[in-house]
Amino acid sequence: MGVSENPSEPRLDDRHAHRSVGATARLVGVSVRTLHHYDHIGLVQPSVRGHNGYRGYTDADVARLHRVLVYREVGFGLEQIATLLDDATVDERAQLARQRHELLTRIDRLHHMVAAVEDMMSAQNDGVALSAEEQREIFGDDWLGEEYRAEAEERWGDTAAWAQSQQRTAAYSKADWQRIAADTAALDADLAAAMRTGAAPGSPQANALAERHRASIERFYDCDHSMQMCLGDMYVADPRFRAHYDDQAPGLAEYLRDVIAANAAQHAD
């Protein structure tokens, strides 16, 4: 005897077509309590329901649950997730691809800025340690190194990139840091000027600027075009870096990201 009077609804005797709450929890790695909560708020509800309280999750339900967990992993709240999944105007596949990319970028971000930001202050192996006053003199009041220092060392202090940047910067003098700061400021100014005059990403002028940027990073650690693209994404995603560039020219962070990406595409095999 079928459970539902509506023949279009899943039936309990179609056991092969669905999983119990416990089996679904084990499959996706969440607690039964979490599934009950998602059911209660209407986020992921089992399609199969019996009069005796039995609930069963179909493959489609499990697929929706996996999408919820992906969105949770990248920091979305449950209400936001419900909107993303249920709004017919949202391209969910594109959203998932974008969120996956942002998650990978977030994982790599601190790794790459260890050398590019924090290690600019860590030339201590050779006795070259910049004081706070010297840092302010060279890098200005918006210098981000101290803000990232403890965070970066905790996460990436045992990585090859950290060791490489330590080795390269160990012998840098105050004059070296001043030259680096001047070169960086000149590059930023030239990027802003190129954006204002309409130099399109992928143009010879823009590509030359992208290579200058990559060379500036290689003062600290090896940076191929793929790694440089991660940095470009970081400049847009991290509000502190975005503010640094956009304070010089509105939209400069996104322009630099696009310049890097277009140049990298031309160097792809």
Q: What are phi and psi of 172, to 5 degrees?
A: -70, 135
Structure tokens at 259: 């310049």
Q: What is the pLDDT of residue 177?
A: 81
Can you tell me the mean pLDDT for 221-250? 86
Kindly give the residue spans of alpha helices, DSSP state H, lying in the chain. Answer: 21-28, 32-40, 59-73, 78-86, 92-116, 132-139, 145-156, 160-169, 174-196, 204-217, 225-237, 239-246, 252-267
SS3 state of residue 7: coil
Between 116 and 206, the higher pLDDT residue:
206
In tens, the pLDDT along 105-142 reads: 766 765 655 555 555 555 444 444 566 666 666 666 65
Q: Is the pLDDT of residue 22 over 80?
A: yes
Check pLDDT > 50 for residue 6.
no
Which of 10-14, 28-32, 83-87, 183-187 bottoms out in mean pLDDT, i.e. has the lowest?
A: 10-14
pLDDT tens, 140-187?
Answer: 665 555 555 555 555 556 666 667 776 777 777 778 888 888 888 899
Residue type, 53: G
Question: Higher confidence at residue 13 or residue 254?
Answer: 254
Q: Percentage of the chain with pLDDT > 70?
A: 70
What pLDDT does 209 receive? 96
Does the pTM of the predicted model rise above 0.75? no
C-alpha dist (Å) from residue 95 to 77, 233, 243: 15, 16, 25
Give the pLDDT score at 202. Answer: 93
Six token digits for residue 146: 């101290």
pLDDT of amino acid 149 = 52
223 — phi, psi (to 5°)?
-135, 105
- Sketch out the chain's domains with CATH numbers: 15-86 (1.10.1660.10), 98-267 (1.10.490.50)
Q: What is the Cα–Cα distance from 228 to 210, expressed in whole angstroms? A: 9
Amino acid at 193: A
